[in-house]
Amino acid sequence: MSFLPYVPPEQLMKDRSDFAHKGIARGKSVVAIEYADGLLFLAENPSSTLHKISEIYDRIAFAGVGRYSEFEDLRIAGVRLADLRGYSYGREDVRAKDIANAFSQALATIFTQQMKPYEVEILVGEVSADHGRNELYHILFDGTVNDEQGFVGIGGHAEALSKALGESYAEGWDLAASVRAAVKALSTAEGRRIEPDAIEAGVLERSRPQRRKFRRLSDEEVARILAE
């Protein structure tokens, strides 16, 4: 007969939190910034195929840090949920808030019921249709949801990123100013210069004529912006 030692619940939760924090800290951080025409997501990511930033639905985007396989599982689940809701009801009924809540519930269940928590933090953003308020949600590994405004940095250098962006951020930035500020904040947090070809960036662009508002910024576009 095996004997399992008793572990106080608060100690168990602390151990799981520490474990998740360490895993997330090993990953590359992500920055999200509201600019005049939408939302910018930017990260250091040398890979051209394993994306940290992706589209979820027409006006909704996703970004993740931490263990790639785990936040990719969440992204795929988010896409399926959005497609099912859009098909069952209407495309206008697919909202970032609902997807963020679904991610929150899934992560909270994993954190409390499984032996190993997910080592991830994620962002879900939605650009408004008529220059209204954009939506930007930060979901932690334990399911906690934060409603962000203006800018947010997630990952191992979240505090340094938020401090750097807080010192410079101004409402109404254009895309170029937002890209330069995001790259500068990431470089400051990492303590080194980040080259344009190691940057992954995507935007939810309100003025984009297509129904789907997400587009990726090419290495050439990023390099041109940074050279200005």
Q: What is the pLDDT of residues 79-131, one digit of tens each?
A: 999 999 999 999 999 999 999 999 999 999 999 998 899 999 999 999 998 77
pLDDT at 15: 86
What is the predicted pLDDT for the residue at 3? 57
Q: Helices marked H in the chain — which ranges?
A: 9-25, 68-88, 96-113, 158-166, 175-190, 219-227
Residue 13 scores a pLDDT above 60: yes
Task: Please give the share of the chain, as a percent, with pLDDT higher than 70.
Answer: 97
Q: What local confidence, expressed as pLDDT, does residue 4 receive?
A: 59
Question: Is the pLDDT at 2 greater than 60, yes or no?
Answer: no
Strands 151-154 and 145-147: unpaired
Identify the CATH class of 14-166+182-227. Answer: alpha beta
